Amino acid sequence: MQALDWCIIAGYFALVIGVTAWVTSRNKKTTDDFFLAGRNLAWWVIGASIFSSNIGSEHLVGLAGSGATDGVAMAHYELHAWCVLILGWILIPFFMRSKVFTMPEFLERRFSPGCRTFLSIVSLVSYIVTKVAVGIFAGGVVFSSLLPDMHLGPIDSFWLGSIIVLCMAGVYVILGGMRAVAYTDVIQVSVLVLGSALLTYFGLTALGGWGVLRSTLSAEMFDLWKPLIPVGVEWTWEPVKETGRLAWYFHGDYPWIGMLFCAPIVGLWYWCTDQYIVQRALGAPNQKEARRGCIFAGALKLLPVFIFIIPGMICFALAKTGQFEALAAMVNADGSVNREVAQGAFPLLVKTVLPVGVRGIVVAGLIAALMGSLAGTFNASSTLFTMDVYRRLHPAASQAWLVWVGRIAVAVMVLIGLAWIQVIRGANGLYNYLQSVQGYLAPPIFVVFFMGIFWKRLNAKGCLAALVVGFALGIFRMAVDTPVTLGLLKNGYAEGSFFWIINNCYFQYFSVLITLVAMITMVVVSYATKEPDYAKIKGLTYGNVTPEQERETRASWNWIDVVGTLAVLLMILGAYIYFNG
């Protein structure tokens, strides 16, 4: 890092601080303004904010690393841009007309207060132990990789990076609320996309072009659909000690069955029902702006394939060519990828191929992504706590006081994040473990929202039963995995035992199992109990939308929205066709 790089980073921070100050001066002391930006965000702000909230730590550390180790396999999750379109076209009309602040609040309107309470608590806990934890971890990884010699007394670069990112994100959420998050997200998306595009360009230039990349790496690296069974392993029903798995659990890396069935479940939960994402769309003044924001976010969502996954592949290809000594450790003696070293593919490429000045832009983009992700988490968590927990306990609280409660909630989240830093740093494999958590928590939420909107006969008891049973299965799986993940059981479970089978069942397959069990539970319990009061849920399911509501939704879109949607779908289809071996 040279003086010019530092000046660019300082300029980025100054811009974020300036925007936060401007937004804070315009804010009103109302819950609508603090939590949903007054419900008057423009579509381009909504789209940029959705994308910025999504592009966080798992992309910075995980996507480039997976690109280096497994090629485009993880592009499936980025091609889930179609899930954002589902939000805009199918779910937004229900969310917007209900005028809710949170997703648990919508669940109360559709089912019962008990369902709202259950989902609120689960969402808050999961945000703290997943999104905040992973964001802090990634901040430390990025800073320790790019600036390993940076110290402030006894505090090393990992701690400094974590603290800086955590506190900066917390400050502008506390001061400006949702409006500050949304407008700084526009800046952060611009910096991130520019910086990452420059990294891809300079990386390909150093390698010799796209053709060299394709010829250097195997064809399998460019195939989205991976085999069920690892290459070279025979199909057998006997335990295979070399892999530690029974043959029917074989999955290779990101098998096509898991990607075809599980990945969409997680995608639809995340993009269509998670407070973290949907809150941006709820900040729109009407269905039209919310839908267009989702379409714009869908187009932006396709970029990570090229600005995160491809750079990881470029980094591995450069390592194989031997052009840069700093990348040599990424290649094993047999020519395969060193998976541990490959997790730092993105920052390694930044250090290796970028010239002075450009490096500053890319590092600013990395910081932008980290801050955007954490800020979105803080904003969503404070909204959930204030509107779903505190306001229900104190219904007479004033608007101004609820805003202060939201700010205090963010400050508490920052303190919890600071306390997490040492735990995250010391835990072996915690980051990788957290990536599978959403596969265990998402299914029951996906089930109750989508089945609840499409099937009016399903009732509150069925919803609560599905949530309880689904989460119980997910927590059971995490309880089985945790001792192995954290190294508490050095040799794992006894081979062939019940817990060994559960632990070795690929997380995507287990996620599908949770989904099926939750669906069956919801239907059986609903039909075994009294049907819901349809008058109370009018307009909240497709079975009882009024003609006036249908006309309102139809008037909110035109040919521009249809063309934009088709363009995004065609780009997704083109990516699937191209990355097909």
CA 9 to mean position of chain CA atoms: 25
Q: Among candidates 550, 548, 541, which has minimal Cα distance to 94?
A: 541
> Model-level pTM?
0.80
pLDDT at residue 521 tops 60: yes
Asked whether the beta carbons of 94 and 273 are under 8 A apart, the reply is no
Dihedral sign, CA of 453, 455, 460, 462? negative
Q: Which residue has the tokens 């909204």?
A: 383
The structure tokens listed for 96 are 């917007």
Tokens coding 402:
């609820």
- How far, in Å, CA of 550 to CA of 548, rounded? 5
Query: What integer is the mean pLDDT of 63-69?
Result: 80
Q: Find out whether 437 and 478 touch, Cβ atoms under 8 Å.
A: yes
pLDDT, tens only, 187-222: 777 877 888 888 888 888 888 888 888 888 887 788
Residue 467, token pair as written in the block = 């949530």
- Phi first, then psi: what are they for 223, rounded to 5°? -110, 120
In the chain, the amino acid numbered 319 is: A
End-to-end CA distance of the chain: 38
At 271, list the tokens.
């993009």
pLDDT for the residue 35? 62
pLDDT band at 515 (very low <50, low <70, confident <90, very high): very high
CA separation for the pair 167, 406 (Å, rounded): 16
pLDDT score at 133: 67
d(CA 512, CA 80): 17
DSSP state for residue 221 in the 8-state scheme: G
311, 65 Cβ separation under 8 angstroms: no
Kindly report, residue by residue over 274-329, the tens digit of the pLDDT: 887 888 888 888 899 999 999 999 998 888 888 888 888 888 888 888 877 777 87
427 pLDDT more than 50: no
Name the residue with tokens 């991130």.
192
Place of tokens 């714009």: 296
Domain locations in the chain as residue ranges: 3-23+39-426+546-578
CATH of domain 3-23+39-426+546-578: 1.20.1730.10
Q: What is the mean pLDDT of the chain?
A: 79
Place of tokens 């399998």: 220
Residue 373, C-beta contacts closer than 8 angstroms, at least 6 positions apart: 52, 53, 54, 55, 56, 57, 131, 135
Residue pLDDT, tens place only, 229-251: 555 545 444 444 444 444 444 44
Residue 364 CA neighbour count, 13 Å, CB half? 27
Report in angstroms the alpha-carbon separations of 69 from 26, 106, 311. 47, 41, 12
Q: Estimate to the nearest angstrom the gap between the alpha carbon of 160 and the chain centroid.
A: 24
2 burial (CB, 10 Å; 0-12 / 13-18 / 19+) is exposed
For position 422, what pLDDT does the model report? 55
Q: What are phi and psi of 291, to 5 degrees?
A: -65, -45
Instruction: Kindly give the residue spans of alpha helices, DSSP state H, lying in 427-529.
Output: 430-454, 460-485, 498-504, 507-528
Predicted pLDDT at 129: 67
Q: Which residue has the higher pLDDT, 20 or 472?
A: 472
